[in-house]
């Protein structure tokens, strides 16, 4: 049995997992990122949590074939350098070389959304496909593109920023500086904003009494199920925007599988059924035999660890 190690470097936590050749995580470890530290200190913690996961698996570093890191920001995956990751303060940080010096195993580094997409591709909902696009609906909208079994990231490693394509000209402000981005409307943040706007416009809505101590991405869906018309309007608008962005992605890439992840996907058929209906009416290619399959991501938070662990394979 061969073993690989994946590290998911996040703004809050650093998670590591030992993964066997059947894509099963056999041991995990986690530590706070404490992102205001220096790059050297954070990389030391990455090495420590990697050693902890290996120890938990009752293995040694010599048993690990290779190590992969999924990081936020722009990553030069050919050289193992995190070019820029604003939320952890990395700038031209040679993480690959730094971890190799500390752990003595081959190290591969990739953008975290790309790593998660690769995880779904090798072991999750996009398994057995030749091409796939994975979209994560979280605080923002993350994207990962797999073409002919390889991660696509553009010539400058900044590709697959699917969330920063515009679907509403002069629309809502996006954190990237543009207006009307897919992310501004289809992220959980965008859903919460639209929910709040509807609540302000409809003081009679059940959403007010159902919200608890904060407005969540689930509130509109829950209130819709309680026959609240304002909430139903929010859900309908949200799904229309999501369908517009996904249709654009399908029209560009025509992947075999388009995988959607993130907390909003827990809504299941309430999200997926109307979403698929709209996309089927709008997508350019309308064949009966070859259409992109739209699925919910299956690996959850493990996607990043599994995908990172097998980054070496993506470079082969």
Taking only the tens place, the pLDDT of each residue in 113-160 is 999 999 999 999 999 999 999 999 998 999 999 999 999 999 999 899
Is 207 in the same domain as 240? yes
Is 307 in the same domain as 257? no
Say what the pLDDT of residue 313 is. 83
40/309 Cα distance (integer angstroms): 22
| Token pair listed for 51 | 């050693």
pLDDT digits (tens, 9 = 90+) for 242-257: 999 999 999 999 999 9
Total tally of structural domains belonging to the chain? 2
- Classified as helix, coil or strand, 159 is coil
pLDDT digits (tens, 9 = 90+) for 262-307: 989 999 999 999 999 999 999 998 767 789 999 999 999 899 999 9
Is 273 in the same domain as 306? no
Task: Pick 234 or 86 by higher pLDDT.
Answer: 234
Is 290 in the same domain as 188? yes
Say what the pLDDT of residue 33 is. 96
Contact 127, 121 (CB under 8 A): yes
Is 155 in the same domain as 219? yes
- pLDDT tier at 87 (50, 70, 90 boundaries)? confident
Is 32 in the same domain as 97? yes
Is 287 in the same domain as 152? yes
> 136: domain range?
129-296
| Token pair listed for 170 | 């002069």
Say what the pLDDT of residue 168 is. 97
210/249 Cα distance (integer angstroms): 35
Answer whether residue 161 shows pLDDT above 80.
yes
What CATH code is carried by the domain that includes residue 143?
3.30.420.40
Is 165 in the same domain as 74? no
18/56 Cα distance (integer angstroms): 9
pLDDT digits (tens, 9 = 90+) for 166-225: 999 999 999 899 999 999 999 999 999 999 999 999 999 999 999 989 999 999 999 999
Is 288 in the same domain as 308? no
pTM of the predicted model over 0.75: yes
pLDDT digits (tens, 9 = 90+) for 12-35: 999 999 999 999 999 999 999 998
Is 240 in the same domain as 308? no
- The dihedral through the CA atoms of 140, 146, 150, 156 has a sign that is negative
Say what the pLDDT of residue 125 is. 96
Is 25 in the same domain as 113? yes
Show the beta-strand stretches assigned E in the chain.
Answer: 3-9, 13-20, 25-32, 64-71, 74-76, 81-85, 90-93, 107-111, 132-137, 141-147, 150-152, 257-261, 293-296
Is 90 in the same domain as 186? no
- Of the candidates 44, 64, 52, 40, the one whose C-alpha atom is nearest the C-alpha of residue 16 is 52
The torsion angle over the Cα atoms of residues 222, 187, 88 and 305, rounded to 10 degrees, is 80
Q: What is the mean pLDDT of the chain?
A: 95
């Amino acid at each position: 049995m061969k073993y690989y190690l994946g590290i998911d470097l996040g703004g809050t936590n650093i998670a590591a997992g030992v993964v066997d050749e059947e894509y099963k995580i056999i041991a995990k470890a986690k530590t706070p990122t404490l992102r205001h530290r220096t790059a050297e200190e954070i990389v030391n913690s990455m090495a420590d949590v990697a050693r902890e996961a290996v120890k938990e698996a009752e293995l040694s570093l010599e048993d690990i074939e290779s190590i992969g890191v999924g990081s936020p920001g722009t990553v030069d995956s050919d050289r193992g350098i995190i070019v820029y990751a604003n939320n952890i303060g990395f700038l031209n940080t040679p993480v690959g070389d730094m971890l190799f010096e500390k752990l003595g195993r081959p190290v591969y580094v990739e953008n975290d959304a790309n790593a998660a997409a690769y995880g779904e591709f090798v072991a999750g909902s996009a398994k057995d496909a030749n091409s796939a696009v994975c979209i994560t609906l979280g605080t923002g909208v993350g994207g990962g593109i797999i073409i002919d079994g390889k991660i696509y990231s553009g010539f400058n490693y900044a590709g697959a920023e699917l969330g920063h394509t515009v679907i509403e000209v002069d629309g809502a402000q996006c954190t990237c500086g543009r207006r009307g981005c897919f992310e501004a409307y289809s992220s959980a943040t965008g859903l919460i904003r639209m929910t709040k706007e509807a609540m302000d416009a409809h003081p009679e809505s059940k959403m007010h009494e159902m919200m608890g101590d904060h407005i969540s991405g689930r509130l509109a869906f829950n209130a819709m199920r309680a026959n609240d018309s304002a909430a139903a309007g929010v859900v309908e608008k949200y799904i229309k925007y999501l369908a517009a962005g996904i249709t654009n992605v399908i029209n560009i890439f025509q992947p075999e599988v388009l995988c959607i992840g993130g907390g909003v996907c827990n809504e299941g058929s309430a999200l997926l059924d109307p979403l698929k209906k709209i996309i089927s009416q709008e997508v350019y290619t309308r064949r009966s035999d070859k259409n992109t399959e739209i699925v919910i991501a299956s690996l959850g938070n493990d996607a990043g660890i599994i995908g990172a662990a097998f980054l070496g394979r993506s470079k082969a």
